[in-house]
Structure 1
Amino acid sequence: MGKKILIVEDDEKNLKLMRVILKNAGYETIEAENGEKGVKLAKENIPSLILMDIQMPVMDGIEALRILKTDPLTKDIPVIAFTSYTMKGNKERFLEEGFDGYLSKPIDVKGFLDIVKSILGE
């Protein structure tokens, strides 16, 4: 298996699609359905990359990002915002929050893998 990628997504269809795309590209996936569980799994597994939905139950992606970026154990893990918020200015807002990249829903398979590989330096 390749690098570990943590997917934090509450929508089962999106989660399954990302899992299939990433596994077919040779990555190992870890999955969480909310930000709180995502933070816990990030600290336990130290993935190479985190794909973070923004709007989720329990803890949203922005709050989870803030926790991850202030923890010495997880602060250097790149985090990509994965969201259906596609209004003008949202991408810039998420990057200003500290996300390392931005992906909009629905998933464009080639664009999705291109961004993942770029962030991972591949």
Structure 2
Amino acid sequence: MKPCVLVIEDNLANAELVVYLLKSSGCRALTAFDGESGVAMACAERPDLVLCDLQLPGIDGFEVVRQLREVDALRGVPLVALTASAMTGDDDRILGRGFDGYISKPIDPTGFIALIRRHLPDGDRVGQTSVPPAVPAATVPRPRLATVLALDDTRINLELKRGLLEPHGYEVLTATTMDDALALARERLPQLILSDVGMAQGDGFEFITALKADPALRHIPVLFLSSTHWDTESRTRGLALGAVRYVRRPIDSDLLLREIRAVLAP
């Protein structure tokens, strides 16, 4: 059975990143966006681990941990703090208030699973479900399945896509702006483009409009991924402009891989 992790975090981007990493590593993830909801969810679901931000609307992380420590059914459940203000001496302050450990923000995806593995049951297996162990290329050559261009103005999201796709045989190109993505698409002609919708400069709708207006690029399928533009109007608009899929984030890594394979299937 997959270990269950409750994430109590009011920042949507941080919560999405943590949930993505957990699911990609074989965990089941639950989310709560304030302290009161987090306490209620922990009591109802009895997770194997609770990750809790210290700065929350309503009751803060220290009050959350105080209340959870009083619940008999949750005795033995590890509680780990998420903090953006870790400083010298915080070990004593955070651990002294009832937490079993803490993780500093911004989250480092490469070390995150190693940090939580020690707190999870069967922790040695966590992190091994989605990405197979590395095999020297000289021993087992891995053919490239396809070249995928990822467009997102948040670099950590690009690295997550690279970390998911490359072990499965895809070549991943990345761009943080619409102009860079168009230039890279003209140069490399990828078989698929994964595009964010909401970006600091332009948006996915402008990007796909420009892409489809270029005779050399219009054949490239575009899969939209968005955590913010998920209303019916945005989805309808994206598909009408030519997107082959419009997927809501966060998405389970296995589901995303299936979507990509379906788009690329002959």
Please name the residue that 1:64 is paired with. 64
Note the C-alpha offset of 1:2.
Answer: 1.1
1:100, 1:61 → 2: CA distance?
13
Largest Rg, 1 or 2:
2
The amino acid across from 2:73 in the alignment is L
Please name the residue that 1:83 is paired with. 83
Please name the residue that 2:55 is paired with. 55
TM-score (norm 1): 0.95
Other structure's SS at 1:107 match: coil
1:70, 1:115 → 2: CA distance?
25
C-alpha contact 1:69 1:76 (8 A) present in aligned 2: no
For CA contacts below 8 A with separation 6 or more, give which structure has more relative contact order: 1
C-alpha contact 2:65 2:99 (8 A) present in aligned 1: yes
Tell me if 1:32 matches 2:38.
Answer: no
1:18, 1:72 → 2: CA distance?
27
1:118, 1:53 → 2: CA distance?
19
| Identity score, percent | 38
Count of equivalent residues:
122
Q: For residues 1-122 of structure 1, what are the structure 2 equivalents within 5 Å? A: 2-121=2-121, 122=123
Which of structure 1's runs of 4+ aligned residues deviate more than 3 A?
none
2:4, 2:13 → 1: CA distance?
20
Q: Deviations over 1:9-67 (max 9, x none)?
A: 00000000001000000101110001110000000000000000000101111001000
How much is the aligned-residue C-alpha RMSD, in angstroms? 1.1
Decide which moves more: 106-115 or 60-69.
Answer: 106-115
Gaps of 5+ in 1: none
1:49, 1:116 → 2: CA distance?
9
Note the C-alpha offset of 1:91.
Answer: 2.6
The amino acid across from 1:78 in the alignment is P
Note the C-alpha offset of 1:115.
Answer: 1.5
C-alpha contact 1:81 1:102 (8 A) present in aligned 2: yes
2:109, 2:92 → 1: CA distance?
22
C-alpha contact 1:53 1:81 (8 A) present in aligned 2: yes
